[in-house]
Structure 1
Amino acid sequence: MRVRGISWVGVKTDSYQQMRDFFADTVGVAAEYERPDFAVFRFPNGDKLEVFGPGADDPAEQFAVEKVVASLLVDDIDAAVTELRQAGIELIGTKQGGGDGYFWQHFRAPDGKVFELVCDPRHP
């Protein structure tokens, strides 16, 4: 598997508005997408940060243990999922798609923490 970087970080917080404002106003990254209790920030290099408030619609497994989850950017998600499976890594749920060729797959690392693989054609 060839991982190109960390392309996404998700933050679950009870202080949604403060975190949203921090990234928008203090860090200076414009929100690319927003809905109640959820904001997506895309950095100039293509990396994404998503802030989830208490009422956000997020996958239950994503923040079941940790409040911060990172994704590993891969070119071929199907091949990467196969490699995880062959290595005995637990996959959580099924591969999901967000449109425009964007796919993700959650998995449990050996220490029990949840990560995800991401294929994002918009990421340089």
Structure 2
Amino acid sequence: MAGCGIGFVGIRTERLDDMVELFRDVIGVPVVRQHDDLVGFALADGTVLELYGPGEKFHAFFTTGPVVGLRVDDFEATRAAMIAAGVDFIGEIQHAAGVKWQHFYCPDGTIAEIIGPAVVHAGSAS
């Protein structure tokens, strides 16, 4: 798929405070959201970095190391091709701010996701 790039990295950690200190205080990455056991950062190129502590339940399936989100030009076409190839997706398609994403299992069990623009059809609201 043309135009693929990194759009998201998610890391589950038992040492959330130490990881936040590293990224925020040492490396200087700005925190853009924080609640419960989730801290989100915005990298300079627009990539989202999220850290999940042990109490964060929504991303409990992030167990294989960093979860990388691949930015694609056409979310629907990429997802359809992946389904046709037998890729197993996790949960429902998520969406916010004109973007869609969905997690999936790689052949070796590694979890990744695809991220792409949400298509707005004529006459519909976003």
User: Which residue number corresponds to residue 32 of structure 1?
Assistant: 32
- Aligned pairs for 1:50-89 within 5 A: 50-61=50-61, 63=62, 65-89=63-87
Check conservation: 1:106, 1:117, Cα contact below 8 A: yes
Q: Which runs of no fewer than 5 residues in structure 2 stay unpaired?
A: 119-126
Find the aligned partners of 1:59 and 1:20 in 2 and give their Cα distance: 17
- Aligned pairs for 1:1-124 within 5 A: 1-61=1-61, 63=62, 65-97=63-95, 99-119=96-116
Percent identity at matched positions? 35
The structure having more radius of gyration, on CA atoms, is 2
Instruction: Tell me the TM-score normalized by structure 1.
Output: 0.86
Q: Which runs of no fewer than 5 residues in structure 1 stay unpaired?
A: none
Misfit runs of 4+, over 2 Å = 1-4, 57-61
CA positional deviation for 1:3: 4.4
Find the aligned partners of 2:58 and 2:26 in 1 and give their Cα distance: 25
Find the aligned partners of 2:19 and 2:51 in 1 and give their Cα distance: 7
RMSD between aligned alpha carbons? 1.6
Find the aligned partners of 1:57 and 1:21 in 2 and give their Cα distance: 22
Instruction: Tell me the TM-score normalized by structure 2.
Output: 0.84
Find the aligned partners of 1:93 and 1:39 in 2 and give their Cα distance: 22
